[in-house]
Amino acid sequence: MQIDSFAKINLFLEVTGRFCNGYHGINTVFCSVSLCDRMRFALTKKGSLKLSSNIPDLNTQENLVYRIARYLVDRFDPSYGVSIDLIKRIPVTAGLGGGSSNAAVTLKVMNTLMKLAIEDDELHEIGACFGSDVPFFLTGGIAQGHGRGDQIVRLPDLSIGNILLVNPGFEIPSREAYNLVKIPKTPMHWDVVYSVDNVFNRLQDAVQTMYPAVASIIDEMKQNGAQNAIMSGSGPTCIGLFNDSEKLLRCKEMFSALGYWTYKVRTIGHDEYQQCFQNSS
């Protein structure tokens, strides 16, 4: 079975507090986008579990994909093992949710392939144990995330066709980004009517102070035709929202010439997202 594992962007991210376990409370709006990894699953002999990737550093038992696969095999003792091939296109530790997306795909596909019959509510509970973003990637489309980001409420789809992703080439661990932020006394709230003016990321100011390249990318996108630009998630990937594809492509070429990773994406609606699981072969 072969399936795409889509990235996400955050159109809104507010930090609302900090829990006693160290996690931060957030209010965020996740949105699936067309950048994706490719994953291949094949049933093997009972008890066998193998993970391979085009990025050798990901071929480890610490990878979320391996950890979830091992959990399912150990807990449900299926009649088969599984071999997983992960072809990465989404930058790692980049604020695009690639690892959580891979984990969610692994949950859904193994549930189907191995006939585990896990209900959706339990899939979400399992996913949340492995990563705050994983429950969103079980749903896809556009959704609001509360709590640690693991409490998901679907929102109406948004069709945004000209989005530029720019990554400066370094990693920012989520824990570092959240530890930099000052929790506001009065958190902002998402305006349910989307516009380019109400995108927001509370982590951005704190991260920009430590990583000036993020501020530079955002400023350059705005100066080169973006209606608005913000950092996605915990960064460092930045997103530019354009109403003109030619301006986007010129901006993309400019950043690519500087050696930055760039990618043009569009939003993916809930039905299109879920259809990938039904069409996988």
Q: How many CB atoms lie within 10 A of CB 161?
A: 13
Query: Interior CA angle at 107 toward 102 and 112, to 5°?
Result: 125
- Exactly one of 8, 108, 252, 264 is catalytic; name it: 8
Is 157 among the catalytic positions? no
Beta bridge partners of 6: 36
Residue with tokens 């392939």: 113
- Candidates 138, 8, 2, 21; CA nearest to 68 is 138
Over its C-alpha atoms, the chain yields an Rg (Å, rounded) of: 19
- Exactly one of 4, 37, 108, 133 is catalytic; name it: 133
- Candidates 63, 226, 94, 232; CA nearest to 172 is 94
Is 133 among the catalytic positions? yes
What are the phi and psi torsion angles at 226 (to 5°)? Answer: -70, 135
Beta bridge partners of 30: 10, 143
For residues 236 and 244, give the distance between their C-alpha atoms in angstroms, rounded to a whole number: 24
Q: Which residues touch 230 (CB under 8 Å, ≥6 apart)?
A: 199, 200, 201, 204, 218, 238, 239
- Tokens representing 22? 């160290």
Amino acid at 158: L
- Candidates 100, 105, 107; CA nearest to 123 is 107
Amino acid at 42: A
Active site residues: 8, 133
